Each structure stands twice: as C-alpha cells, then as structure tokens.
Amino acid sequence: MSAKLIDGKLISAAVRKQVTEETSAFTAETGVTPHLAAVLVGDDPASQVYVRNKERACRKCGLKSTLYRLSDKTTQQQLMDLVAELNADESVHGILVQLPLPDHLDSTPVLDSIRPDKDVDGFHPENVGLMLQGRPRFLPCTPHGVMKMLAHENIDTTGKHAVVIGRSDIVGKPMAGLLVQKGSDATVTICHSRTTDIAAVIRQADIVVAAVGIPEFVTGDMIKPDAVVIDVGINRVNDRLVGDVEFSAAAEKASAITPVPGGVGPMTIAMLLGNTLKAAKQSV
Ligand code: GUN
C-alpha cells in the first residue's frame, strides 16, 4: 500500500476532545447540559449499533442523551407526535431520527417536522437551504466529517475535480454542496446509478467520495494515480465490514485513503456531538 491512511479514529478523537472541553465550559457557565434525543424505530441491527455508538459518545463527552425506542408497529402519527413532544421540550436541544425508517413510515414529513433549530442532522429543508447558500446552521454530519478529514490532512480541494458517487440526501447531495462552496472551491461531479460510463468519470477524479452503499463498487482500476479516496460506505459482507471501495487495490494507486471501519464512521458521530453542543449554545 502506498497511500497514506486517513485515520478517522484519530481525527474524531481530536474533535471529541474539543467538544468535551467546550461542553464542560458551557455547562459550568450556564448550568445547561446539551441534550440529544435520539429516536430509533424498529430493530434494524445496523441502526441499533449506530444509535448505541452515538449515545455512548454523547455520554463520554459530557452531553446528555435520551434514546426513544419505538416498535416497528409505530404509526406515522405516533412518530410525528413524539417529534412534536421533543420539539416542545425545552430540555432537549438536538433531535435525531435514525434512518432508514421501516418501510411503512414516510421519513419526509417526519424530518420536515423537526424544529430546524434542533435539527442536529442538518436534514431539514431550511438547514439544507442555508448550507447550500453558504450560511450554515447545522452541517450534515457525514459530509461535514469528510470536510474535516480533508482539512486535517491538509488536502487542498481548490480547483480539484471531486467526484461524488451517490446522490442521497444524507451524503451525496450535501457532500457535493460542501465541496463546491466558496472556500472549498472544488469542481464537483455527482455520479449515480444512471450515470453513463461511471468508471470513466471516476477515473478523472482528484478526490473520490464513494457513498453508494454497494460493497467494493469502486475498484482499483478506477482510481487515478495519487487521487484522494474517501469511502463513506459501511457494508456487512459475510460478517465483515467493507466499504464502497476495493480498499487494497485503491490504496496502491491513491495518495491518501480512508479505511472501513475507522474512517468516516467515527467522524459522523463526532460532528453530531458538535452540532448538539451548537444547538444548546444557540438555545440560551
Ligand atoms: N442513517 C445513516 N446515517 C444517518 C445519519 O447521519 N443520521 C440519521 N438520522 N440517520 C442516518
């Protein structure tokens, strides 16, 4: 492997340390403990792990976290009622509804109903709009975590061709939105399942961000020599976690690459903590 490993565990630890220090100072000054309310509907195993990790990280950094576990029989109205209750609860600063929701529930009205000033995922249309206009309130955690990693590694995105693979509202679209902002100044291409000759597009990338959710979709032959490769995928294959990038082959070509696990995943959680602290600070 010739690529430098971008260590998400290390970088996220630095972010969490800063959040811990700022939380301690904020709580000492105001008497307020930042409080995240996480909502988990159903028993999707991956979501259970993610939410547990988010809760644990909150506690370690001095934030309060409350988990609302709802059965997979929960109705749309019951979920909306819980969000309304959390919106009105002044002791709650951040609300997170873990996605995906079970098939019978529609996430759009749920996410739309979260108070924008408690929307620590940054998924509310008002926050998406503010982010795209370059005046962010809450940046979405995974794309923000990726930007933090690039900055930490002193990877200059100015004028670089960044190819984002995947057009989800959680990662692909906001990732492209951040990379193209003034200050980041990348030239951005978004690829998706209908892109013609996706391999040819990826081969042009100085920076690849893979967020398709298909194990090892990006193969080594698609990586331009010395490209930076960011793998957002977390896929379980035969009880092993693999990313959206064929890691060892890509690492032979890239100048820097994120591992899975231990890459983007820990950054997502760290940025959520930062957003929850920000929400609490904005509430006083
Ligand atoms: N599911 C996968 N990633 C995320 C995330 O960042 N936030 C929420 N709420 N659900 C997710």
Mean pLDDT over 194-212 rounds to 98
Residues marked active site are found at: 54, 98, 121
Residue 156: closest CA among 247, 12, 255: 255
The CATH number given to 31-116 is 3.40.50.10860
Could you tell me which CATH class the domain 141-265 is placed in? alpha beta
CA angle 149, 257, 10 (to 5 degrees): 45
Res. 1: pLDDT tops 80? no
Q: What was the pLDDT predicted at 264?
A: 98
End-to-end CA distance of the chain: 49
Q: What was the pLDDT predicted at 62?
A: 98
Q: Judge if 31-116 and 141-265 fold alike in CATH terms.
A: yes
Res. 115: pLDDT tops 80? yes
Compute how many other C-beta atoms are within 10 angstroms of the C-beta atom of residue 17. 12
Mean pLDDT over 183-208 rounds to 98
Atom 4 of ligand 1, residue of closest alpha carbon: 99
pTM as predicted: 0.98
What are the structural domain ranges in the chain?
31-116, 141-265
Mean pLDDT estimate for the chain: 98
Residue 275: closest CA among 53, 31, 36: 36
Mean pLDDT over 161-189 rounds to 98
Q: What was the pLDDT predicted at 58?
A: 98
pLDDT tens track for 68-83: 999 999 999 999 999 9
Confidence tier at 160 by pLDDT (50, 70, 90): very high
Instruction: Collect all residues with Cβ–Cβ distance below 8 Å to 7 and sequence separation of at least 6.
Output: 259, 262
Q: What is the dihedral of CA 257, 169, 16, 20, to 10 degrees?
A: 170
Which protein residues are within 6 Å of ligand 1, measured from CB?
A: 96-99, 121, 141-142, 170, 268
Closest ligand 1 atom to the C-alpha of 100? 1
How far does residue 233's CA lie from ligand 1's centre (Å)?
Answer: 13
